[in-house]
Amino acid sequence: MKVLDEFDEVLVMVIDETLRYSLGDRTVEIFYEYLRRKGFTLSKIPQNLELFFGELRNILDFESYGTRFHSVSSMGIVSILERTIIQLLCKRFGVEFNEKGPICFSEWVEKVREAYAERLKKNFQKRR
């Protein structure tokens, strides 16, 4: 379905921009190369969110033994990244986000996806 394709493109773009802004281009490129060697391309992110962020946690756990993230756990870092991504998606698609505390990333992605699809459906019906 074309609607979901467009949403997925925006989702991948927001994830990529957030990671690059937060972790730096070099770190993100190393992570993407690691995923490619495992047969995982960026186009697979929307269907495999848990795998993608699980691998990111694994990489950050390994990285945290160095000097970069020694004071924050990989779970904490990825949770902050997920929350930021959801906030940006909600803002982009006009979905209210005022959650306090931990969120379930995949559930929020689906909420935003559904709101986006509903808005497109309403806009299509208005044009008729």
Q: What is the pLDDT of residue 122?
A: 78
Per-residue model confidence (pLDDT) at position 61: 75
Compute the distance between CA of residue 105 and CA of residue 88 in angstroms, rounded to an integer: 13
State pLDDT tens for residues 87-117.
Answer: 999 999 999 999 888 889 999 999 999 999 8
Q: Using CA atoms, how far apart are residues 63 and 69, in angstroms rounded to an integer? A: 7
Low-confidence ranges of the chain (pLDDT < 50): 1, 3-4, 64-67
> pTM of the entire structure?
0.83
Give pLDDT, residue 7. 92
